[in-house]
């Protein structure tokens, strides 16, 4: 037994981790910098619950940042991994699982005629942008302030997620020339997008957008905004890329594009299609996808792409979503949490916005609906910190940042939701 397994507290583990790992964490938001205190360490997880190294049980609304749509340690996903494991962990050759996964994605996601597997959401967005540039012969892309598309050099410009949490939306180590190819527009700013095309349209390869931005909290598009992006890309012969790494398969089986009836040219996917294992994918029109090597001139590769364990886990996750169709139930649970929070804030006299769609919701202490990055960053983050700490002390785990999104899984039952709603409402009343 390793010495580290004998450490029986999160404090001990974090102290040792800080000596070995920058900041003691392998992803910055896990450091709890914006909410205070030290992070806890998880020793096991089942269903909707985490158990910490200190033997505290928490109702989990982070869900490994989205992939755990069926909760933790789902028996069907676990069985699929075990079955695949009997044949090996990685082959370096094509395998049957990746063909089945591709077949399922093409059948489910409206925009995808062909798909290429990779190993993370970051790889998916990076590759989709490279493909868009190769296909169009243009260099510039449009992204939206606060949208996080992974830690790609040209995309860490006014980004969200951990970069925003740490107050560093622009990362050091990125040459200015890289960022110069990225045009940043405020989300929901129709005139800003029109102006970008008017000024640089001949060199705009693509717009990349989270159709429901979920990396600076959760922001909903104004009516007609996504339709406008589609129209502008079509008229300019630019590509529209939907980053559905978070929303894909979660807000509907076919993602946001299924909910809103808009078909992008390319789609980035991840999280749920790995069943909790590292994964990414990007797909779209066959004509565009065939620009990828070995058919075309755009190079993209990965040693572990299409890994059989990740594919098996993802197939099990997608099959379960299709067979059980849990979306109405997830919507009901999300609404229950939202209504409890809003009612508690009303009683307390606190301004609160809870944008919620299906199993995703965010918490902003703000007077008006949050429509863009500026609105998110001017909300009362001190109140969120207080709510986070109260919730954690009483057995509910929220994302450790005011700029992240909460997730509900099919493993959350009525008792979990009722208990969490009561705790969160009490947390708001305690502010």
Please say if 271 is a catalytic residue: yes
Catalytic option among 114, 158, 271, 385: 271
Catalytic residue selected from 97, 148, 212, 397: 148
Phi, psi (5° rounding) for residue 178? -70, -50
Q: Decide: 364 and 353 in contact? Cβ < 8 Å.
A: yes
Strand order, beta sheet including 360-361: 356-357, 360-361, 406-407
Q: Which of 315, 313, 213, 208 is nearest to 256 (CA)?
A: 213
- Told to judge if 148 belongs to the known catalytic residues of this protein, a careful annotator would answer yes
C-alpha distances in Å from residue 307, one per residue of 48, 63, 84, 237, 262: 26, 22, 10, 35, 31
Classify each residue of 362-394 as buried b or exposed e, where b means 16 or more C-beta atoms within 10 Å of its C-beta: bbbbbeeebbbbebbbebbbebbbbbbbbbbeb
Query: Measured between alpha carbons, how far is 99 from 252 in angstroms, rounded to an integer?
Result: 23
Among candidate residues 60, 243, 375, 416, the one labeled active-site is 243
As given in the structure block, the two tokens for residue 232 are 């502008």
Nearest residue to 183 via CA among 150, 216, 205, 211: 205
- Nearest of 59, 100, 88 to residue 337 by alpha carbon: 59
Q: Give 12's contacts (C-beta < 8 A, 6+ positions apart).
A: none
Closest listed residue to residue 218, CA positions, set 401, 396, 18: 401
Q: Rounded CA gap, 249 and 256, in Å?
A: 8
Phi, psi of 361 (to 5 degrees): -155, 160
As a whole number of angstroms, the distance between CA 171 and CA 381 comes to 22
Q: Which residues are catalytic?
A: 148, 243, 271
């Amino acid at each position: 037994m390793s010495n580290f397994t004998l450490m029986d507290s999160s404090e001990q583990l974090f102290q040792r981790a800080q000596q070995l790992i920058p900041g003691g964490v392998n992803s910055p938001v896990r450091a709890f910098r914006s909410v205070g205190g030290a992070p806890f360490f998880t020793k096991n997880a089942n269903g909707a619950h985490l158990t910490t190294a200190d033997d505290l049980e928490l109702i989990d609304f982070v869900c490994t940042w989205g992939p755990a749509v069926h909760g933790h340690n789902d028996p069907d996903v676990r069985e699929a991994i075990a079955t695949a494991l009997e044949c090996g962990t990685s082959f370096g050759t094509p395998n049957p699982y990746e063909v089945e996964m591709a077949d399922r994605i093409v059948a489910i996601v409206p925009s995808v005629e062909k798909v290429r597997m990779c190993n993370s959401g970051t790889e998916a967005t990076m590759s989709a942008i490279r493909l868009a540039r190769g296909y169009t012969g243009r260099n510039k892309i449009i992204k939206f302030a606060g949208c996080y598309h992974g830690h790609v050099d040209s995309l860490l410009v006014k980004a969200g997620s951990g970069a925003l949490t740490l107050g560093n939306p622009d990362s050091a180590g990125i040459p200015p020339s890289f960022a110069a190819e990225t045009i940043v527009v405020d989300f929901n700013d129709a005139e800003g997008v029109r102006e970008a095309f008017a000024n640089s349209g001949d060199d705009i390869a693509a717009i990349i957008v989270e159709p429901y931005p979920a990396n600076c909290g959760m922001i909903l598009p104004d009516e007609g905004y996504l339709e406008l992006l589609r129209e502008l890309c079509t008229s300019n012969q630019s590509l529209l890329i939907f980053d559905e790494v978070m929303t894909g398969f979660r807000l509907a089986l076919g993602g946001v594009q299924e909910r809103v009836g808009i078909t992008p040219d390319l789609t980035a996917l991840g999280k749920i299609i790995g069943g909790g294992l590292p994964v990414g994918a990007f797909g779209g029109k066959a004509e565009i996808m065939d620009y990828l090597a070995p058919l075309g001139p755009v190079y993209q590769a990965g040693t572990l792409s299409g890994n059989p364990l990740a594919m098996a886990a993802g197939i099990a996750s997608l099959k379960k979503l299709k067979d059980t169709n849990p979306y109405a139930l997830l919507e009901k649970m999300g609404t229950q949490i939202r209504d409890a929070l809003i009612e508690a804030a009303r009683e307390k006299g606190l301004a609160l916005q809870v944008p919620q769609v299906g199993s995703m919701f965010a918490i902003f202490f703000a007077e008006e609906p949050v429509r863009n990055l500026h609105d998110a960053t001017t909300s009362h983050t001190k109140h969120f910190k207080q709510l986070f700490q109260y919730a954690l002390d009483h057995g509910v785990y929220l994302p450790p940042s005011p700029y992240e999104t909460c997730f509900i899984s099919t493993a959350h039952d009525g008792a979990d939701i009722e208990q969490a709603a009561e705790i969160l409402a009490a947390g708001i009343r305690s502010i």
